[in-house]
């Protein structure tokens, strides 16, 4: 019932709420497309695995490139 009330009111805040709720529902619907295709289609399953393998390799290269090697530092105590 609350979703219908913002349409009846001319308040911009209620209209913004209605648009936001509609946008969230649309985003969830669009985002659920990929997992459903991955589960149900062999062609999409192969394509996703191929792309994830390429993506995984490139991420590993970036991580290895950005790692800094550490050198141990030894501090010697001077006796007075």
Residues 7-25 have pLDDT tens digits of 566 778 877 888 898 999 9
Torsion angle defined by CA atoms of residues 55, 60, 62 and 65, in that order, rounded to the nearest 10 degrees: -160
How many whole angstroms from its chain centre is CA 16?
A: 25
What's the predicted TM-score (pTM) here?
0.44
| H helices present in the chain, as ranges | 5-8, 12-31, 33-40, 42-66
> Which has more confidence, 7 or 51?
51
> Which has more confidence, 55 or 10?
55
Q: Where are the domains of the chain?
A: 1-31, 42-66
Which of 2-11, 19-28, 29-38 comes out lowest in average pLDDT?
2-11
């Amino acid at each position: 019932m609350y979703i219908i009330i913002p349409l009846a009111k001319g308040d911009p805040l209620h209209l913004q709420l209605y648009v936001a709720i509609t946008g969230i529902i649309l985003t969830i619907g669009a985002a659920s497309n990929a997992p459903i295709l991955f589960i149900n289609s062999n062609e999409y399953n192969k394509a996703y695995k191929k792309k994830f393998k390429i993506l995984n390799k490139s991420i590993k290269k970036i991580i290895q490139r950005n790692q800094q090697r550490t050198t141990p530092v030894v501090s010697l105590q001077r006796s007075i």
